[in-house]
Chains A and B, each alone.
Chain A
């Protein structure tokens, strides 16, 4: 699998978060991970993401609300536009904020309630340029009823809902009588659909390109979602 090929080289991530305790916690999780992940602490200084060691980190872990109640979508957009792989890490769980981050091209959205099992997995996925969908994001995608949302199949919705509810892919697979790999495929398809309707960012084009290569989505399906808009 792709994870095995990535395991050879050390992943570097930079975290921007004004809470020292959060940074310390993430640092601990990264050092305990096998293989460990090298974490650079930028504190609340966004400049350290653009210059110095932070500038070459594989993954950016971005606290959306460095200023309370003012989510910094502009900075997220700039990071994505310059080809960075971004994980949004926020206390916020309201669906509109979550969906907006995905639309802007964040590869993962994690709430701070979601622990190392999701954060470490999300960092590894992002380092490969792949999206990671944690249960909270899955819940937001199910509840998304904005007019521009992509049309999901009934099975995709079922998988998303079950993943949000159980937060265990084994349980989802057992409940829906499918394999864990199929569960992942359905979730990945949903993310590709979202990437397709969102802004044309570099990481997103990569994402759609890879989905086409892997057969997750066909050209016909791509055209179908576009005509629905």
Chain B
């Protein structure tokens, strides 16, 4: 069933969009990532103009994250206090990020920078997670108990706050810093930032994997909502028809994903997410290094 999208000005298959939304929703529920890093390139691939894809992707992420967070709230795996701290940092970071983005746009190499950002961050994070996940998995198989968390320098900083759900008593500064830097990156890369947020929470803040996903989703809702509004007001590029189809597929996908996520072990979950992140990274890297089939690209507007 073909459907004409009013803002994107293209006609696409409605079931294809529902399916895309569903896949991204499952990922979102399983891993606590918004799925933007996957959804946005997929939308490019089916012919949605990039500006519309980025803006509408943000809107879809809001819906699937809400659906996911509600499921996590019921299981009490959302650290609301930590989420709020990260969010406040994130909004500040997003503002800074948009400014950086616009400055780079004037220089004309923003596409390259965004792709390079993706390759570097996805590569580092995916690699780290894969190594960690693999180690943990082989340890549990051999019946060795995971080592106790060691105290890092971060835990000695001032302004300590108790984050009960996470079982942490740490300084408020590192979460704010994490929020700001993820905010900057997510504005520049046009995604919710979950795939950076999740590992940052695990490795930098030492949060338990169980609460990380719900908390990340909670934070993503607001960052994505902020991004959606910003795009709608400044660029008029949110396509509500496209969003609705992606959302319909996505919200049910997210419920399904949360179920799958609870059945898997944390280590397996981490390893799965790592391979996914690495796969997207590889695809983007290949596009950068392999000769393209068409060396010319049409861009809208004047240079």
The answer to whether A and B assemble together is: no
**Chain B residues packing against A (C-beta within 8 Å):** none
**Chain A interface (Cβ within 8 Å of chain B)?**
none
